[in-house]
Amino acid sequence: MEASVALNASRSVIPIDMILDSGASDVLFPGRDEDSCTDVQLVDGSLTIGDKSQIPTYARAKYGMLDPVILCNSLMYALVAVSFLTNRLKLYVFYVENLAYILKKTSNSANPDELLFKTIATATLQRDRLFHIDDSTKFLDIEKTKDVTSRLNYAVSDQPYLQHELKYGSARVFHSVGNMMLNKLQWLHIRLAHANEYQIKMMVLHNVNIGTQVSYAEIKDLHLGECDT
């Protein structure tokens, strides 16, 4: 049984307590956050949770760029699925210690080798060990987001980083950093969440990496050295 009621204007811009969830597959809002949504369509449905039981849902809606949002009265927090952001919206999610960055890649027509990223939203690891979105209203207007960096220039050379630079350099590799150079294996080590040397070489050898533009021949004789991360 389905009923349809369209509400075409958002009635609230108060930030919602959202959790960035790697286990969910959709964007799910508790019923109390319905007033923050637009285009609410009353549609009966259900969600299957971890123990294979089902809980009822009652509507679909929109929250800015998050479309669709499934409304469910049984939820305590809004859940934003990482897979929804990466697969449906083609965004990037990076975790750095207790922070998560949700980014959109843009292009520079004047220089195709230069990549620009815009911050859509950020999330912080809270005491409940969950990543809570810092400001949910960032999802409402993507055009107002600002560039993370005006220039994404990976410095790659055969001169290795020092140990402390390997440990703390994951943020710096997003910028042009003068003499601070990585060989290509070390660059992949940082970009791939500090995966070990064998894992990286097997990923490249079997073509399971996307977008690195690094071949196995370029890294097969390189070594990571010691990293105390």
Query: Domain boundary at 54, 82, 110, which?
Result: 82
User: Dmax over Cα atoms in the chain, in whole Å?
Assistant: 66
| Structural domain contains residue 201 | yes
What confidence category does residue 117 fall into, taking pLDDT thresholds of 50, 70 and 90? confident
Burial class (CB in 10 A: 0-12, 13-18, 19+), 218: middle
The pLDDT value given to residue 227 = 60
* 132-137 contact pairs (CB < 8 A, 24+): 132/17, 132/18, 132/19, 132/20, 133/16, 133/17, 133/18, 133/19, 133/20, 133/80, 135/15, 136/15, 136/16, 136/17, 136/18, 136/63, 136/78, 137/13, 137/15, 137/64
| Structural domain contains residue 228 | no
Query: Domain boundary at 41, 56, 82, which?
Result: 82
Q: pLDDT tens-digit profile of 142-176?
A: 555 444 443 333 333 344 444 444 444 433 333 33
| Structural domain contains residue 62 | yes
Token code pair at residue 160: 């290795």
Write down the pTM of the prediction: 0.58
| Structural domain contains residue 67 | yes
Provide the number of structural domains found in the chain: 3
The pLDDT value given to residue 57 = 94
Q: pLDDT tens-digit profile of 45-96?
A: 988 876 777 889 999 999 999 999 999 998 889 999 999 999 999 898 888 8
> Domain range spanning residue 146?
88-151
| Structural domain contains residue 224 | no
The pLDDT value given to residue 194 = 74
Measured CA to CA, the distance from residue 158 to residue 73 in angstroms comes to 56
